[in-house]
């Protein structure tokens, strides 16, 4: 008799299947708040250097990775979904082929090329099964003094009716499983992993998606 699949592996398989199904629709979906997105990109570019080597986990179809790549030395972009990665690769041109490596990998998986100068995780941490495990992997793969940039949906900081709607969408399999977390809890996770918080800002009016710049202390 075969050993049962570990719960974390089951969850990853389920998440991969969801995003594989959603990939084409996701790729066609316009950015909901273009102003907030441009403000986020501006803040990212302000802290990255032309010589930096970057890892983006949960890259989706690679749109943000392609924009980040214009101002840094190299980007490694990973995602759990094979379909997301297929679409990201199909959108590569001569520039991105030289500047971006696109790989299928779980958020907590170590990838070749580390340590990186900075690691990015946008709209991701609320979707992973084990936030501390992912943050430990990020900490191991970023250089001492390097940055971790994230934007995370903190559902606990939203109104009760939004939480109810999200749970309903998840139960109907319209939305992926979402970890209900607050900004304070997220910052505690980051601190427990060893990071120091440099900046916390919001780019949208709902104030439930903090953009956090954290730093691994220098040795």
**CB-based contact 165:213 (threshold 8 Å):** no
- 50 three-class SS: coil
pTM score over 0.75: yes
Higher pLDDT, 194 or 175: 194
For the segment 38-57, what is each residue's pLDDT rounded down to a tens digit? 999 999 999 999 999 999 99
For the segment 189-216, what is each residue's pLDDT rounded down to a tens digit? 999 999 999 999 999 888 899 999 999 9
The predicted pLDDT at position 95 comes to 78
For the purposes of burial, counting CB atoms within 10 Å of the CB of 89, is it exposed (0-12), middle (13-18) or buried (19 or more)? middle
Instruction: For residue 43, give Cα distances in angstroms to 40, 90, 113, 203.
Output: 5, 28, 25, 10
Tokens representing 14 are: 């389920």
The residues spanned by each domain of the chain are: 7-215
Q: Would you call the peptide bond into 115 cis, given omega within 30 degrees of 0 as the criterion?
A: yes
| Average pLDDT value for residue range 106-129 | 96
Of 11-25, 138-152, 153-167, 191-205, least confident by mean pLDDT is: 11-25
Axis crossing angle, helix 82-90 with helix 7-28, rounded to the nearest 10: 30
In CATH, the number for domain 7-215 is: 3.40.50.150
The answer to whether residue 8 scores a pLDDT higher than 50 is: no
For residue 116, give the nearest of 63, 72, 66, 61 by alpha carbon. 72
Q: What is the mean pLDDT of the chain?
A: 92
The predicted pLDDT at position 172 comes to 86
**CB-based contact 49:117 (threshold 8 Å):** yes
- 219 three-class SS: coil
């Amino acid at each position: 008799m075969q050993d049962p699949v570990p719960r974390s592996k089951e969850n990853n398989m389920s998440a991969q299947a969801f995003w594989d199904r959603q990939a084409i629709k996701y790729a066609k979906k316009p950015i909901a708040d273009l102003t907030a997105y441009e403000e986020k990109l501006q803040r990212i570019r302000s802290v990255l250097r032309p010589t930096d080597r970057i890892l983006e986990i949960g890259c989706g179809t690679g749109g943000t990775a392609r924009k980040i790549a214009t101002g840094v030395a190299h980007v490694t972009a990973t995602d759990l979904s094979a379909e997301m990665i297929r679409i990201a690769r199909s959108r590569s041109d001569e520039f991105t082929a030289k500047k971006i490596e696109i790989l299928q990998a779980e958020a907590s998986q170590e990838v070749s090329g580390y340590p990186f100068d900075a690691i990015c995780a946008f709209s991701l941490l609320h979707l992973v099964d084990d936030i501390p495990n992912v943050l430990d992997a990020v900490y191991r793969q970023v250089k001492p003094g390097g940055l971790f940039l994230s934007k995370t949906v903190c559902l606990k900081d939203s109104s009760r009716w939004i939480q109810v709607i999200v749970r309903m969408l998840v139960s109907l399999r319209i939305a992926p499983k979402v970890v209900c977390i607050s900004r304070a809890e997220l910052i505690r996770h980051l601190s427990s992993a060893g990071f120091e918080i440099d900046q916390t800002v919001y780019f949208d009016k709902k104030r439930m998606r903090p953009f956090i710049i954290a730093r691994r202390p220098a040795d």
